[in-house]
Amino acid sequence: MARYLLEVAYDGTAFHGSQVQGDTPTVQLALNRALSVLLRKETITVGASRTDEGVHALESYFHFDHEEPLHLHFRYKMNAILPGTVTVKRVLLAHDPEFNARFAALSRRYRYRIYHQKDPFLQNRALYYPFRIDMEMLRETAAVLKEYTDFESFSKRNTQTFTFNCNILDSHWEQHGAELHYVVEANRFLRGMVRGLVGTQLKIAGGKRPMDDFRRIIEAKDCRQAYFNVPGHGLYLEHIAYPADSFTEVEDQR
């Protein structure tokens, strides 16, 4: 039995999240159905990351098992079956048949996009935020986050996690033309964590609360102190890092 991975990208506004929820349209359900049609047997995938409704992915992974060699034009055929809102970018063969797309990940990187001037072409692609922002305060809040490991304040309730500890490897803001981006990378993320980080930083940098309150919010370990009310459509899962030499690409035959 061989274990394969699909590297996928998707438009999150077309799905109610990435993980299967019965017959509700999700990314995983679309992949399971396409694989089952192409492989002519029920095939279930396992996702590397669970994104909420509206959240996009530029790079995510789902693994599945299959006994026989894949079709010579497997990626082409998968993309022909899948809806236009999700695409298979690469097909990979795991060197370890027990490789797990979720638990083998070393880190994940997210990007949150914000724009200040009304732009109809950015609807459902970024957060329209026409309010004052103190960039120096944003840079300071982003840097402060790397001093902490317990992020219970930025985890939504009813989570199944056993620990709220995360190792934030990178946290910074970038200007991209008319857009402002928050980039954060960590070994793991909690439910709603990135949106909580973005929403809370915007509150601080908008003058809604003093800078000293940011540390108090983190140290409170209470999600009622943070702000999660930024939409999912501004958030992108951008990259997932795995150990080197974990898999080999399976390319379509020309």
* Catalytic sites, residue numbers: 52
Q: Quick check: helix, strand or coil at residue 205?
A: helix
Q: What tokens were used for 95? A: 């060197």
Q: What tokens were used for 116? A: 């200040």
Q: Beta-strand (E) ranges in the chain?
A: 2-10, 46-47, 56-66, 86-94, 107-115, 127-128, 168-176, 179-186, 235-241, 247-249
Residue 194 backbone phi and psi in degrees, to 5: -65, -40
Query: Distance between CA atoms of 4 and 25, rounded to whole angstroms?
Result: 23
Query: Distance between CA atoms of 161 and 217, rounded to whole angstroms?
Result: 20
